[in-house]
């Protein structure tokens, strides 16, 4: 009887271990599913609207207490990619530096209506906020993706990414290394909100 309980216990432990392994693989594989070639930009090509930014190599570093930088999103095939019968979602990915309480980087994908009743209207489609993640003095890459209830329509809208960087003290300052917008077939994923 004791031998069968031991075997049963080993089987249960093995199944639990397998379930944890599969859950881990599913979680890590979501970040790897990118359909087509996404729109991509380095931090240094943005247009500064407010505040002061220093461009060092491909990176945009905050030089004042706050700044707003905009990046024009152009039509690329990855913004229209699909996975056949599987649902697809838009993802927003950024590589940024935010050391915690002293910095913040907010990346927003926005649309500007060009025609019809929506002409002139600016709508925020997705937001990635560095405050939703643990701070780090090193750069980190984070992504969110979900349906968002929109499809790209470059005939009637212009699209841009607006990045707001802020800081309350030095020596570490906020920075942006790169941005991507594209499509994925992975399930909906939003920031964990720490």
Q: Could you read off the pLDDT tens digit of each residue along the chain, which spans 194 residues? A: 555 555 545 444 443 433 333 333 333 334 447 888 999 999 999 999 989 999 999 999 999 999 999 999 999 998 988 777 777 788 999 999 998 888 999 999 999 999 998 899 999 999 999 999 998 989 999 998 875 567 899 999 999 999 999 998 877 789 999 999 998 887 766 666 55
Number of neighbouring beta carbons within 10 Å of residue 114 = 15
Q: What is the pTM of this model?
A: 0.79
Measured CA to CA in angstroms, residue 4 lies from 10, 17, 18, 49, 50 at distances of 10, 20, 21, 71, 71
What does residue 146 show for φ and ψ, rounded to 5 degrees? -170, 170
Q: Which of 154, 160, 194, 192 is nearest to 179 (CA)?
A: 160
Per DSSP (E only), the strands in 3-135 are 35-42, 47-50, 53-56, 59-62, 66-73, 89-98, 103-113, 122-129
| DSSP structure string for 165-185 | EEESSSSS--EEEEEEEEEE-
| Domain boundaries defined on the chain | 1-30, 34-184
Q: Give one word for 20, left, alpha or beta, with left for phi > 0 and alpha for psi -120 to 50.
A: alpha
Number of neighbouring beta carbons within 10 Å of residue 53 = 26
Neighbouring residues of 56: CB distance < 8 A, sequence distance ≥ 6: 44
CA distance 124 to 126: 6
Q: Please check whether residue 150 is in contact with residue 49, taking contact to mean a CB–CB distance below 8 angstroms.
A: no
Q: What is the CATH number of domain 34-184?
A: 2.60.120.260
The torsion of the CA quartet 162, 167, 172, 176, rounded to 10 degrees, works out to 0
**Site of tokens 């380095």:** 42
């Amino acid at each position: 009887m004791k031998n069968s309980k031991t075997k049963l216990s080993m089987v249960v432990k093995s199944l639990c271990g397998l379930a944890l392994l599969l859950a881990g693989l599913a979680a890590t594989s979501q970040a790897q599913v990118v359909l087509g070639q996404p729109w991509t930009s380095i931090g240094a090509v943005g247009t500064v609207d407010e505040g002061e930014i220093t461009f060092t190599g491909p990176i945009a570093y905050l030089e004042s207490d706050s700044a707003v930088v905009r990046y024009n999103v152009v039509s690329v095939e990855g913004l229209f990619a699909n996975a056949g019968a599987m649902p697809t979602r838009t993802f927003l990915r950024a590589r940024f530096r935010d050391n915690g309480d002293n910095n913040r980087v907010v990346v927003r994908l926005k649309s500007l209506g060009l025609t019809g009743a929506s002409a002139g209207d600016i709508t925020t489609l997705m937001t990635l906020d560095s405050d939703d993640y643990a701070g780090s003095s090193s750069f980190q890459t984070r992504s969110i993706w979900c349906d968002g209830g929109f499809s790209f329509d470059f005939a009637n809208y212009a699209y841009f990414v607006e990045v707001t960087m802020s800081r309350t003290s030095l020596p570490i300052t906020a920075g942006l290394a790169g941005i991507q917008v594209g499509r994925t077939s992975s399930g909906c994923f939003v920031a964990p909100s720490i």
